[in-house]
């Protein structure tokens, strides 16, 4: 058994460096996904454009049952992840009750480090913060999809004597709401992936460096190097009609 009372208090410089690397990687990846344009555009941004195209099609359809079903499926998926994040948060909080046993287990693993109870509690609290962040993102995305459904129902029927600028403003509101909901949902999912990377810190800071790098590489490949993204770009995805308000991105 590991003598927890003899464990060094606080975090080593390697621990702090690994944590800063984790936070910097999360931030840099999020900025890259949302800011890069042109041939470097992310898959998420490409799909945001298709959300806008979907909103354009709403005013051309007399029957909008399909549109409401699509929005409902997005809302249901968001609700599932919100519930999952709460379950994960509850599971994380139970870790603090069995800290001594788990600390001894991790200390026996390769590259494992001996930690005291204080550092263990701090790491558990950090993981709880990650899942709390994910829950808030999913919950807000669910609310925005709900608002999107309301805006969808407020679109005047086809053939109504509504000026075209007003119809475009109505569609623009739907698109903006749906794009924002999708963005918050993506951030919640991103938190799930980085939560997996964060688990490496419970073993050692060296593992956190490796797990964070692995997660970023996997997500980067899916956003910028995946086959579906290449196919969308090959089909002229960058030659888009542009945003609904006519401004440049």
Q: Would you place residue 236 in the very low, low, confident or very high pLDDT band (cuts 50, 70, 90)?
A: low
pLDDT digits (tens, 9 = 90+) for 156-168: 887 777 787 888 8
**What pLDDT is attached to residue 98?**
64
| pTM over 0.85, yes/no | no
SS3 134: helix
Torsion sign over Cα 32, 34, 36, 38: positive
Q: Tokens for 121?
A: 């509690």
3-state secondary structure of 162: coil
**What tens digit of pLDDT does each residue of 114-139 get?**
566 778 888 889 999 999 999 999 99
pLDDT: which is higher, 103 or 119: 119
User: Under a CB-based contact definition with an 8 Å cutoff, are residues 103 and 115 in contact?
Assistant: yes
């Amino acid at each position: 058994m590991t003598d927890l009372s003899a464990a060094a208090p606080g975090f080593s410089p390697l621990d702090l460096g690994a944590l800063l690397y984790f936070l910097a990687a999360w931030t840099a990846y999020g900025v890259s996904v949302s800011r890069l344009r042109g041939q470097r555009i992310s898959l998420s941004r490409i799909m945001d454009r298709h959300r806008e195209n979907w909103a354009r099609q709403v005013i051309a359809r007399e029957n909008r049952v399909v549109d409401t079903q699509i929005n409902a499926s997005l809302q249901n998926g968001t609700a599932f992840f919100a519930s999952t994040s709460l379950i994960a948060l509850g599971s994380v909080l139970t870790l603090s009750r069995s800290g001594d046993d788990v600390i001894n287990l991790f200390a026996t693993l390769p590259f494992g480090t001996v930690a005291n109870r204080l550092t263990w509690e701090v790491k558990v609290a950090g993981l709880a913060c990650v899942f709390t962040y994910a829950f808030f993102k999913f919950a807000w995305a669910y609310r925005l999809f709900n608002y999107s459904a309301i805006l969808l129902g407020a679109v005047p029927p086809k053939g109504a004597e509504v000026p075209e600028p007003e119809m475009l403003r109505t569609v623009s509101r739907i698109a903006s709401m749906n794009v924002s909901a999708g963005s918050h949902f993506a951030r919640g999912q991103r938190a799930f992936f980085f939560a997996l990377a964060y688990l490496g810190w419970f073993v050692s800071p060296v593992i956190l460096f490796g797990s964070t790098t692995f997660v970023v590489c996997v997500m980067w490949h899916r956003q910028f190097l995946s086959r579906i993204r290449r196919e969308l770009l090959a089909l002229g995805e960058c030659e888009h009609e542009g945003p609904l308000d006519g401004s440049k991105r």
